[in-house]
Amino acid sequence: MQNRNAQIDLLRVLAMLMIVSGHFVYHGVHHISVPDATSVQYVSSLAGRLNFIFLQFLGYSCNIATNIFFLITGYFLLRPRTLSYAVDKSYKQWKTIVFYSLSIYVVLCASGFSVFSLRHAIEQLTPIYSRNYWFMSTYIVLLLLSPFVSKSLDALSKKEYQGLLFVLLLINFAEGKFGYGSIFSGGMSLVFALSLFSLGGYIRKYPLRERRYFPLVCLSVYVGISLSLTFYSYFGQVLGLVDVGQPLHLKSMANNSIPLLCSVCFFLVFTPPNRLCLPAIVSRLSVSVSPYVLAVYLIHDNRLFRSVLWDNIVRPLDYLDSYWFMPYCLVTVLLIFALCVTIEYIRQKIASLF
C-alpha cells in the first residue's frame, strides 16, 4: 500500500462513482440501452425541470469515466512490462469477472428474477466472449496488448509520439455525423481504448510544466463544457431549437467526442507536476478503497442484474417530480458503491484464505 499513488487511487474512486452515476441516469431513468429509450415528461413541475437539468449535467459530466480508466492504464503501463505480467493480471481479472457473472446469475435464478437456461449459464462462464461487460472485455484485451504497445511507444521520439496522437485523434473523433470515429473506431472500441492508452502514456513520459493554477483551469474547462452542454440540451428543447414536438429527454454523447477533451482535463488534475494536494485522510481512504473499485462495475452493471437494480430496487422514475430526487440520487450512488466495495473486500479476504 505504501507505494501506491494516492492521487491516481482517488481518480479511480471518482471515476467509478461517475460510472455508477452515469448508469443511474442512462439505465435508471433514460434506459438508453433499450431500443426505444424512455422519453420522460419532465415539464410537469418546477421540480421536474430542475431534476432534468441535474440529470443532464450528471450524464454529461460522468461520461468521461471509462476514458479515465484507459488513461490510467496507459499512464502506468507505458514502461514496458513482460508478457507474463500482462497475462497474469488479465487472468486475475478474468477470474473475478467469471466469479461475479456466475454468482449473480445463480442468485437471480434462485430469487426468481431470472429463469435458468443452459445458454445463459454458458454466457456467464464466457463473459468476455459474450460481451457481458464491454468495458472489462476491452480492458483485458488492452492489458494483453500492453507489453507490445508500450515497447513501441517507448521507442518513439517526442515528435513521433505527437504525430501518432494526432493521427489517432483524427481517426477516433466523431460527434454525430462529423468526424471519422464512426468509420474507423467508436467510443466503445478497442482502437479508441488503445488511443487513450497511448495518450495516458504520453502524459506520463512528457509531463507538462508546473503551473500554479493549472488544476483549477482544467477543472474549470471540464465543468464549463459539461454545464454548456447541459443548458444547450435544456433550452434547446424548451425553446424548440432541437427536437421540436418532443418532450424533454436526456441527451448523451459518445466517449470519443467532446468527452475526450473533458477526460484529459480531469485526468491532468491528478497527475504531476500539477496535481492536487490531498488531506491525509482522503489519501488513506483512496488507497484503501482503490483495489476494490473494479468490482463495483462488475456487480452493479451485470447485464442480467441491471434491470433488477434500476427498475425494481432503485426505481428513480418514481421520484422525478420530487425535490428529494437529487439527494436520493446521490445517496443511492454512494450506497451502491459502498455495498459493492464491501462485497469485493469480503471476497478477496475469503479468497486469500485459499
Q: Which residues on adjacent β-strands are paired with residue 175?
A: 178
pLDDT of residue 311: 92
Comparing C-alpha atoms, which of 42, 14, 13, 46 is closest to residue 29? 42
**Do 154 and 79 meet the contact criterion of CB atoms below 8 Å apart?**
yes
Least confident interval from 17-21, 171-175, 294-298, 344-348: 171-175
Q: Is the dihedral of CA 207, 213, 215, 218 positive or negative?
A: negative
Query: Which residues are within 8 A (CB) of 170 and not within 5 positions of it... i.e. 6 or more apart?
Result: 180
Q: Which amino acid is at 21?
A: S
With both helix axes pointing from N to C terminus, report the angle between 6-23 and 280-289 in degrees, rounded to the nearest 10: 60
| Grid cell listed for 305 | 442484474
Between CA 302 and CA 104 the distance in angstroms is 8
Residue 245: its pLDDT value, please? 57
Cell of 132: 457481458
Size (the chain), residues: 354
**pLDDT at position 125:** 86
Least confident of 32-46, 255-269, 279-293, 297-311: 32-46
Q: Which amino acid is at 209?
A: R
Q: Which residue(s) pair with 68 in the sheet?
A: none
Q: Contact at 8 Å (CB) between 56 and 250? A: yes
Distance CA 66, CA 253 (A): 13
pLDDT digits 0-9 by tens, 87-103: 999 999 999 999 999 99
Report the range of poorest mean pLDDT among 51-65, 94-108, 270-284, 328-342. 270-284
The answer to whether the CB of 198 falls within 8 A of the CB of 149 is yes
pLDDT value for 278:
79
Assign residue 271 a region: left if phi > 0, alpha if psi is -120 to 50, beta otherwise? beta
Tally Cβ neighbours within 10 Å of residue 10: 21
pLDDT grade for 345, boundaries at 50, 70 and 90 = very high
- What is the structure's pLDDT at 347? 95
**HSE value, Cβ hemisphere, 13 Å, CA-based, for 275:** 19
pLDDT tens for each residue of 17-59: 999 999 999 999 987 665 555 555 565 688 888 999 999 999 9
pLDDT-derived band at 165 (thresholds 50, 70, 90) equals very high
> Per-residue pLDDT tens for 195-215?
999 999 999 999 888 888 888
pLDDT digit string, tens, across residues 240-270: 777 655 677 888 888 888 999 999 999 999 9
